[in-house]
Amino acid sequence: MRTWLVFFFFFFASLQSFSQKSGKAKLQAMYDAIKAADIKYPVIVMAQCMQETGSLSCKKCCYRHHNLFGFYVKGNKCKKFESDSACIAYYKKWQDKRLPVWSKKNPKGTYYDFLHKMGYATGAKYTKEVKPHVIWIEKNLKL
């Protein structure tokens, strides 16, 4: 009986380790795609992705529609995308349209300020939720 308990302990521990490693690889691939799209502030944008999708594991959020960043359309419904890459391209266009204009008016502003002003981040709570993801990304992903 004791042998079986030890076996199950090591078996489930190895599964958890594998899951964490494969999750990290998935996050790295997503970060690489964001960076390849030439999105500004890719670490913060990746942190937004992690916040909005439960680190790419949420089953009941907008992620099921390839919505990596929690974009909504009229009627407070998740915007649907055909693929993750389509969502990344949408974010790039969204950022390119707004960031240069905002940056000229707010040269000392941060990207968090930009997100708040654009209505993406609804308050200081969002920034507090995203910053731990930024720290994790900086420690665990290849930038």
CATH code at 64?
A: 1.10.530.10
In a domain, 52, yes or no: yes
Asked if residue 130 belongs to a domain, the reply is yes
pLDDT over 70 at 118, yes or no: yes
Return the ∠ at Cα 62 (arms to 56 and 64), rounded to 5°.
65
Q: Give me the half-sphere count of Cα atoms (radius 13 Å) on the Cβ side of residue 107.
A: 1
Mean predicted confidence (pLDDT) in 91-109: 98
Domain count along the chain: 1
* Bridge partners, 78 (sequence order): 72
Range of the domain at 32: 23-140
Q: Average pLDDT in the 45-54 region?
A: 97
Inside any domain, residue 83: yes
Place of tokens 């489930």: 12
pLDDT for residue 121: 87
For the cut 60, the answer to whether the pLDDT of residue 24 exceeds it is yes
Contacts of 1 (CB under 8 A, 6+ apart): none
- CA-CA-CA-CA torsion sign (117, 104, 94, 30): negative
